[in-house]
Structure formats: structure tokens, C-alpha cells
Amino acid sequence: MIKVSNLHKKFGKLNVLKGINTNIEKGEIVVIIGPSGSGKSTFLRCLNMLEEPDQGEVIFQGIKLNDKKCNIDQQRQKMGMVFQQFNLFPHMTIVENIILAPTKLKKENEDEAKRKAVQLLKKVGLEDKADSYPNQLSGGQKQRIAIVRALAMSPEVMLFDEPTSALDPEMVGEVLEVMKGLAKDGMTMVVVTHEMGFAKEVATRVMFMDQGLIVEEGTPKDVFDNPQNPRIKEFLSKVL
């Protein structure tokens, strides 16, 4: 579904990605782990062109995204993204946050979009918050809404950029539950996270990144129980 080849990205002199190659298939749940500064988030953000790669290509459903001719806005509609800082729109109610993209981009009628939004809210247990504003919500609730907002566009793939890193510890669970539910429904997911438990339990593939490269990838069992690379061992000994 997403094919990445020879992806390079520099920020000034800092070489963040030094040639990433991978293939993400439909239905996969790819969890990317690695020390901070290893390029995980940059890689994820290159998948929907929030960062433009300097070299290499990202091909999504046969369409090269880092191409001048590609209408990136259209492709992004099929790629949901969830951010560490939630990034809900504070001047809109929850339901307005959710229906903004469907009504403006897919020209869905407002009542229909609202009905769908409430259905999605029910799934994450927040239907009573439909008319609240984001800053009336806890971090965990905000992140669940952010997930719903991305889902409202019925994306083909969901990208998660450290979705639980900004949360108080007691709220991490509720967000991970929602993500597990999504995984169970067969959503293709790419998740950058420090939640090793989630990686072990949910991932179909774990990718370990270090210094701008994918150092090792495989099933959670392979990567966690039998890592080949000494840097993974060192990393895991610190985080587990």
C-alpha cells in the first residue's frame, strides 16, 4: 500500500533520514520504535508529505506522493494522522472538528456527517462531548477525538505520531484501547510510539530505527525476544 524507497531527509546540515526502504501492506500494523532523534517521526511525516523528502520516493497506492504533479491534498484524505499534541481546533466544538473535513472536502451534507460523527464518538465512548470545546476535555479524551476526526474521512491508513507521549500516565490506556480496537477492525496502521507493550501485543511488524536508518524489522517476537543488533538490545534494556 505504501512503498518507500531510498528516502533521505536533511534539516540543514542534520542528516535525519539516510535511505529508508520499506513496504507497508494493507492490514499491517507497523510499530516504529527507536531512540529519540533516530528519525522515526520524520519518517512518519514523510509518508504524508508533512515533511518533503530530499531524495527517494514514497508511493501510496501506486501514486508517487513527492511528485509535483501529485495532488497531495487528495491523497491525504486517505491517510489519517494523529499527532502527539492532538492539534484539535480549539475554536470549534468536537462535532465541528470532526465534520469539517468531510463536509468541506467530500461535500457530505451536514446532518449526515454529524450522524456519522456521533456514531464514531459512541465507539470511543465520548458521544456526550459532541458539543463541548476541546479545552474542556482531558488529554486522553482529546486524543480519542483526534483519532475520530481522522477516521471521519474513512482513511485507508492511519499514521500515529507518538499518540500517547503527551498524556498523563493514567490516560495512556484509554487511547491505546481505541487504537487496539482499530487494529482489530483491520485498519492499516503505522505507529511511532514508546509503548513497548502496545508494540508487542498489537504490531504485526516492529521496525527499529536508529540514526536515520531502519536497523532491524520483524515480528514483535523476533525484535523483542531475539534482537540481532546490539543497539536494539541496548535500547530495549533502557526502556523495558
Partner 1 sequence: MDFLFLKKYGWYYLNGAKNTILLTCIAITFGIILGLIFALFRLSNNKLLRYIAVTYIEIIRGTPILIQIMILYFGISQYISLPEIPALSKIIGYDSSDFMIGAAAVAINSGAYVAEIIRAGIQSINKGQMEAARSLGLGSSMAMRYVIIPQAFKNILPALGNEFVTLVKETSIVSVIGIMELTKAGDIVRGATAKGFEPLLVAASVYFCITFAASRFVAFLERRMKASD
Task: Point out which residues bind partner 1 (CB under 8 A).
Answer: 48, 50, 73-77, 79-81, 83, 85, 87-91, 100-101, 104-105, 135, 146, 149-150, 153
Strand order in the sheet with 157-161: 79-82, 157-161, 188-192, 29-33, 205-210, 213-218
| Among the listed residues 196, 141, 197, the one whose alpha carbon sits nearest the alpha carbon of residue 166 | 141
Q: How far is the CB of 82 from partner 1 (least distance, A)?
A: 9
Please say which residue, 32 or 88, places its beta carbon nearer to partner 1.
88
Q: How far is the CB of 150 from partner 1 (least distance, A)?
A: 7
| Among the listed residues 163, 170, 229, the one whose alpha carbon sits nearest the alpha carbon of residue 193 | 163
Please say which residue, 136 or 228, places its beta carbon nearer to partner 1.
136
Cα distance between residue 100 and residue 92, in whole Å: 9
Please say which residue, 153 or 206, places its beta carbon nearer to partner 1.
153
Please say which residue, 36 or 135, places its beta carbon nearer to partner 1.
135
Half-sphere exposure of 36 (CA within 13 A, CB side): 5
- Return the C-alpha cell found at 240: 523495558
Please say which residue, 162 or 210, places its beta carbon nearer to partner 1.
162
Q: How far is the CB of 171 from partner 1 (least distance, A)?
A: 19
Q: How far is the CB of 9 from partner 1 (least distance, A)?
A: 16
DSSP letters for 159-223: EEESTTTTS-HHHHHHHHHHHHHHHHTT-EEEEE-S-HHHHHHH-SEEEEEETTEEEEEE-HIII
Q: How far is the CB of 65 from partner 1 (least distance, A)?
A: 13
Q: How far is the CB of 88 from partner 1 (least distance, A)?
A: 8
User: What's the angle, vertex CA 109, arms to CA 103 and CA 111, rounded to 5?
Assistant: 110
Please say which residue, 74 or 219, places its beta carbon nearer to partner 1.
74
